[in-house]
Structures are given as structure tokens and as C-alpha cells.
A and B are shown apart, each in its own frame.
Chain A
Amino acid sequence: MRTRSSLGSWYAFEPDPGRSRGVLNGLSLPMKNAQLRAELKRLIVTELNLKGRHPDTIGDDAPLFGAGLGLDSLDALQLAMVIEEKLGVRVPEGDEARAIFQSVRAIADHIEKVRGE
């Protein structure tokens, strides 16, 4: 049972995995798309263990999979789990995920869209 504060959906934080709202590392402020993208890049590097890669070198629109960053379907699954856990947004599975995981910007847009709903 969750009660939402009067400040609206951005601030409704309870550790409730699998829900579409969440707290970002204790930072209880709405994230702008740019911040979100920076955070996603950081998560990609740390969670997928891309040692030696600086998050800033990942382009907003660069393809993440295949020829791009060289990630694969197992990375997509890991990233989906991490996004759900750390950003509180559930990424759809299957073909829908393919479009969302095209680039960092596409993921950030999806997160914003879900949060805005």
C-alpha cells in the first residue's frame, strides 16, 4: 500500500521493486533527461563491467548493441534489471525492449515517458 505525497509521483518513494517510481541513490529530485542519460552511462559502465571506458565517451545516440558498444542480449537483460532496481522503471521484455535499448537517449526517453504517465 503506497501513499503518494502531494508533491506528486516523482517523490513517491518506497522500496518497492518493480514499480515505476523510485529513488535514485537517495537523490530525491526529479531527473532531467540529461541527468538521466549521464546516470545511465554510469550504470552501463559499472554494471556491465566496461573497465577502462569512461561514461562520457558513450554517445547519447550511439548504438549500444552489435557494432556499437559491443553489448549483447545478456547485457540488455542485466541493464533492464539494473534500471528497474535503481531507477524504478520496468523495461518491457521482448521486441519492445529492442527499440528501447537502441541508445542511451532511447532508454532515457522511455524512462521519462513511463514516469510521466
Chain B
Amino acid sequence: MSQRLWVTGVGLVTPLGAGVEATWTRLVRGDRAIRSIRLFSVAGQRAGVAGEVDGVSAPTSAADAPWSRTSIMAWEAADEAMRAASVDVRQARVGLVVGGTTGGMFENEHVLARLHAEPNCRETLRQMLSHPLTATGDCLDGLLGPFARVRTLASACSSGANAIVVAASWLLAGEVDIAVAGGSDGLCRLTLSGFNALGAIDPEPCRPFDRRRRGTSLGEGAAFLVLERADRARTRRGAPPPIAELAGWALGAEAHHITNPAPEGGLVASLIERAIARAGISPREIDYVNAHGTGTPLNDAMEAAALARALGGEIERVPVSSSKGQIGHALGGAGAIEAAITSLVVARRVLVPTAGLDEPDPALALVHVPHVGRQVPRVRAALSNAFGFGGMDTVLVFAAADRAPGGRESSRSLPAASPATPALLPVITGGAVFGICGLLSAVECADLPAQRFAHDTAVDADAYLDAARARRLDRAARLATVVAQRALADAHGSPEGTGVVFGSAYGNVDGSAAFMHRIFDKGPRAASPAEFPNLVPSSPVGHVSIYLGLRGPAFATADLSASGESAVAQAVELVAAGEAVRIVAGAVEPESAIVEHVLSALFAHAPSQAHAKRADLAGALIVESGHEALARGARVLARIRQVVEWRGAGLEACARLGPPSGARAEVVLSRANAQVDALLEQTPWGRCPRAACTPALGESDGLGAVAIAVAAGRIATRRADEALVLGFARGRGFAIVIER
């Protein structure tokens, strides 16, 4: 049985041009789009060149939603890809996966500047949270959907590549018929100032692999790929011939350093090997590598070492190039843009060049494609590498769509975490909650909803951390690390093969504001290099991975106040797909002056939605493969029976919920409200006792992870036999059923 995944549509927006053909023509020609930034003033910046996308304007049909540049570029690229593949959301279950990092930061910077001048202006404050990372997925859902599922994830510069991996897992699990996956990121002052503070930007357009390379160039842009199973695509009406096959992938974390890659590239080498093995091929069939190739001295040296290690003698044959000398580094969009380019290289048998490479670094033993692209007789398979802050790395393999069948069957033995494992839904083997209730294991959470805690209780993360090793961790990373450490200890789980997925509604809003305020006050040279990496939404995940030595898949999800549920749902998918033996999954929401301020201003006129003060909160579960739990004799707190997620009202989705199987069934909620009541009445769970977490812990966008820990604790202590956790946010929801 061979379930091949085809790329049937591609959409691209890059500094070289809007649209696949506009970008491709100039890409092959070796044109460079990196020039002085016009989008904002670069006065005082160490380097002020970047790749900019011109003519970004919001779709006229969508005046109601706030459109960031990131969302607009994403819409253009996704629209192009969906048209190319003739995707009709009414004819199939279509899923959308969006990778990103800065989201609407460029637009938020205007708000921050106004807030800097007038800190308590309510009108301005209201706009502070109008571009959460989820906004792009929501905008696309509104204009190109409705999609059956929407997921937003972030792993810094590998976000776009990880979106493609998640899409692949949805297709293979049969959750959707077609997946639209990619990434988008707009240029902004924050990232320019931050990368400049790190000394990571070349004052001249970047020169990947060149002896004189001095850093990267930032870029911006978006790409989306339409992916579908080959057997379905063959019979789908209107489906075009495939562009390429998404043949293999591997993702993992270096657990090394928040900004620097591990010099020997050990993890990257093993990911390349695993991705090639998953594709059922050998390095002999790799005919091209689209490198991450940022142009920083460290990245290019590490990547060359990793490629040499993974490809062995083939390194002397396989051409390697980086597109960043032409389009710059589009951060959260880069992984998707370069995946799209790689799939086109495979389809068109034209290698794209490394522009700016005049004097190849003799220390990097690579076969280059300098200056201009070139036609080659064949490209059987190609690699696309994407590496993110915190060492969250992803490797994709694209193969010619007409490659001979039998590849996967003849593959050599797959690594332990292989997709060959028969379906057995994951189990929960540990859990913890950290907040005003103290640090509790899942079992100790069993009666949490009935308890009350003083909302001004100090949450002392430092008591649980080694001061020296935790010195770079900000508040969110500290909370996440403490709760992850406790959950892993609760499961007696080894860090080996363990991944991390944490959800966050808005990311590090306060940190970003403080970072920008320093720049407004003192200029870009006052940008703190140590603070900058803590501003990416995936920063807590990176810190958890580094502190605890977790080298499995690592990224963040964002789903507003259902971010905890989305992280756990994501972890269940990854474990079920064999991408990790276990994952620490949860949510972290530190106390945030801005979120507090904005939401109280927004709810001031709606006393019925009056909320308690938001306190520090983190919750985590250990989601583990059932086989692994069995093999190591782990104590199982609860089994996962069903995960349902939806967009819209959720009535249809909740109708899919199976009924409770016995008498001792309970419903555990983040927060109780009329919407939940109405929905529950539509399900067989309507008459079950229900408990909510807000009375004990106050309002928090991370309560979903707590609700799941409570439910697991109640089942483990035999207070209940099964439980439904129902979580909501605006226009979306998750229902997770767990049982003994």
C-alpha cells in the first residue's frame, strides 16, 4: 500500500514578484530583490537592506477584518495555489495550515508607537490584539474557505515547512481530503532591529556560502502548497497533473542554543537521513538541495557539515543552492517559499541559483549553482531545509511525481518513530498545572475546579529551576519549563524522542512592546539581542526543549483561548502519525499587563462577560504513543478516545461526538458560558455533571490545558470513567474525549 502525497498547486508571493511565474522567471535569471528598505525608516540600523514585496493591498471584498501585510500575502499565495489545483471547498474536506512568526507585527508597531506616546489611550489599546498569529488563518478562512480545519503554528524560521508536515499528517490520517499549507511573514522593524542586534544581517545583500558572507538579508513573502493523496487526486474532477510528490520529511529540535545552531549539525544530518529514508530513497537519488543557506557564517558552516554527513560521498555530486541571496529570509514564510521553489525545481528540472555567491567558501565542500539557474536532465528528488530559532529544524523531500512505484516499499528500515506503526490512539501518561494553585501533578488536579485560590498568589517558577541554566528564560519560558519538567517527571518519561508543543493565544505581547519602546526611546542600537529571541511565539517551546534536552518535534500553536486544546490536539496527531513517541503538550500564558488592559477595556461594556484578573498559568500533558506506554510499562492516566475540532458554531462537529459509554461520565470546561451550555445540549453529554476551571484559577487563554489535566486526574483517581473536555474560542472549538 502506498499513500503518496502530491503537490497539485503552488502559490508564491516573494520580493521577486507576485505569483509563481513572476518569481520563477527572475529566480532562474539570478535577479536579486534585496535593496534599501522603503517600508519604514532604517535610521540607526546596522543594516538596512531587505527583500520587500511591493504593492501589497488588502482584498476589497474583506473590509471587515483587519488585514496585515502577512495576511494579505498569505491570501494571494493561497488563492493562487487553490486556483492552480482547482480546489473547491464545497466539494471536499479541505484543511488549512498556516505557519508564521511575526504575524501583524508591522501593523502593531504603529499601534505601539501611538501607545508609546499615549500609554493609556483606550482606542489605541483596543487595537493592540487585533493581529494575533491566528488572524491570517481566520482571514483566509473567511475569504477562501470555509475550511474543514484550520491550524496556526509557529517555529520561527521553520514554521512554513512545519505547516507542510502537519498537512501531510492530516492527509495520511484521513482527516481531510485536501490540505492547503504554507507560511507567510511580513517585514517589520522588530525583526530587522532584532537580527541587527544579533549581528546577523549583512549590510550588503547576503551572500550564502561565500567566503566573505557576513550575515543574512531579511525578506518577506508567502507560499502555499496544495497537497492531496495521489489516489484521490487521480480521481478528483478538475485536479491538475501533479507538480511533485511530497515524499519525505523529518522534524526535530537541537536542544542546543536559543539562537546558535549546533556547530556539527548532528541533528540536521539525522533529519536529512530520516527524511530521505521516509521517502524510500537513498542519497544517490537526491539531485538537488535547496539549503536553508541564510548567509550567516554559523548557519552555512553547520548546514554544509550536516549535508556532508548525511549525503556521504554524494555531496560531491549534488548541487546545493540558497534562494536567500535573491529574496532574503522570509522567516515564518521561508520554509514554505523554499518548499514551493523546491517542488518547482523538481517539476521543471531547472536548478535555481545562489545569487551573490562570487567566492565560494573553500571550507564548505559543496557543489554550487552560482549566479544563474540551469536546466538539468533530471531531478529525481530534492531536499528543502528549514531551521528555526531554538534549533527547531525541518527537512522536506520532494520527488518527481512520475517516479517509479515501489519506492516506499523498498525503503530500508525506518527509524523507531515510524509511520508504519498501526493506528492506536495516544494515551496521557502524565500532566501538571502551574499557577496560583502551585505546582500540581494531574492527579493532584482532580478536585481543582472545586478549590479556590487567592488570585494574587505569587507564582515562583525560580524555585523549580537551575538559576544558571534558566538565566535566558523569560517569564513564559520559565512557567512552561517548570510545568513541562513536572509533567515529564509525572510520566517517568525519558526526554529521548520527546517533542514539545505549547499553545499561546497572543505570544509575547508585553515583551514585544518593551522591546519596541526601547527602540522608540533610544534607537535601534538599543535593541536587546538577548531579549529578541524571546519575542518569537515559539520561544517558550525552544527554551523547554533546550532546558530539558527534548529533541523531538517542537513548535507552538495559536488558537486564541483554545490554544491549550489546539496544542494537545496537535500533539495527538503528531504521536498518532509516528513523528514522536511522546510530546509535552500544553499552554502557557504569563500574566500580561497588555492583555489584561486590552481585554478589560473591551469587556468593560459587557458586565456579563466580566472576567477575573488573569494570572500566570501553564499546563501540560504527556501525550504518548500507546505502544510506547505499553512497552515501557508506563502508568496510563487516561486514553484518548476522540478529538474533534471545528470552525464555526460547532453543532455539526459536536454531533459527531460519540455518547458516553457509562454512567460516570463528566464534562470539564475551561470556562462555563451560555454558548457551551447550548452546544452541550446538542450532544449526548448534555446531562453529565460539568465543572469549569475559571472559578479556581481565574480567566486565562491557557485553561484548556488545565481542563485536560483535571479530566485526566479525575479519571486516574477513579472519580470518573470518561470525560469530555470542550474548549472554545471565537469561531472555533475542540472537543477531546478521554477515558480510563
Contacts and interface: CB of A to CB of B under 8 A. Distances in A.
Contacts of A47: 530
Contacts of A85: 522, 526
B523 A51 contact: no
Interface in A1-52: 17-18, 47-52
B719 to A, nearest CB: 41
A51 B467 contact: yes
B468 interface: yes
B419 interface: no
A78 B530 contact: yes
Nearest to A82: B528
B522 A78 contact: no
Contact of A81 (B197, B462, B472): B197
A72 B472 CA distance: 12
27 contacts: A17-B526, A18-B44, A18-B525, A48-B471, A49-B471, A49-B472, A50-B468, A51-B462, A51-B467, A52-B468, A70-B468, A72-B260, A74-B198, A74-B259, A74-B472, A74-B530, A75-B530, A77-B197, A77-B199, A77-B529, A78-B528, A78-B529, A81-B197, A81-B526, A84-B525, A85-B522, A85-B526
A76 to B, nearest CB: 9
A93 interface: yes
Contacts of A78: 528-530
Among A50, A52, A72, A73, find the residue whose CB has the most chain B CB atoms closer than 10 A.
Answer: A73
Contacts of B378: none
Contacts of A18: 44, 523, 525
Interface string A102-117: 0000000000000000
A77 B472 contact: no
A107 B183 CA distance: 43
Contacts of A84: 525
Nearest to B469: A70
Contacts of B44: 18
B258 interface: yes
Contacts of A74: 198, 257-260, 472, 529-530
A2 to B, nearest CB: 16
Given A48-B471, A51-B471, A81 B528 contact: yes
A72 B462 CA distance: 22
Interface of A: 17-18, 47-52, 70, 72-75, 77-78, 81, 84-85, 93-94
A84 B528 CA distance: 12
A2 B467 CA distance: 43
B81 to A, nearest CB: 38
Contacts of B468: 50-52, 70
A70 to B, nearest CB: 7
Q: Which 10 A-B pairs have the closest CB atoms?
A: A77-B529, A51-B467, A49-B471, A78-B530, A17-B522, A52-B467, A78-B529, A17-B523, A18-B525, A74-B259
B472 to A, nearest CB: 7
B528 A73 contact: no
Nearest to B467: A51
B226 to A, nearest CB: 39
A18 B199 CA distance: 16
A18 to B, nearest CB: 5
Nearest to A51: B467
A19 B258 CA distance: 30
Nearest to B260: A73
Nearest to A48: B471
Interface in B244-286: 257-260
A83 to B, nearest CB: 12
Nearest to A70: B468
A73 B44 CA distance: 22
Contact of A72 (B199, B257, B527, B528): B257
Given A49-B471, A74-B472, 15 more contacts: A17-B523, A18-B523, A48-B471, A48-B530, A49-B472, A51-B462, A51-B468, A52-B467, A74-B529, A77-B529, A78-B528, A78-B530, A81-B197, A84-B525, A85-B526
Contacts of B472: 49, 74
Nearest to A52: B467
A81 B529 contact: yes
Interface string B105-140: 000000000000000000000000000000000000
Interface in B286-320: none
Contacts of A73: 260
Among B258, B462, B523, find the residue whose CB has the most chain A CB atoms closer than 10 A.
Answer: B523
A47 B472 CA distance: 10
A94 B468 CA distance: 26
A17 B522 CA distance: 7
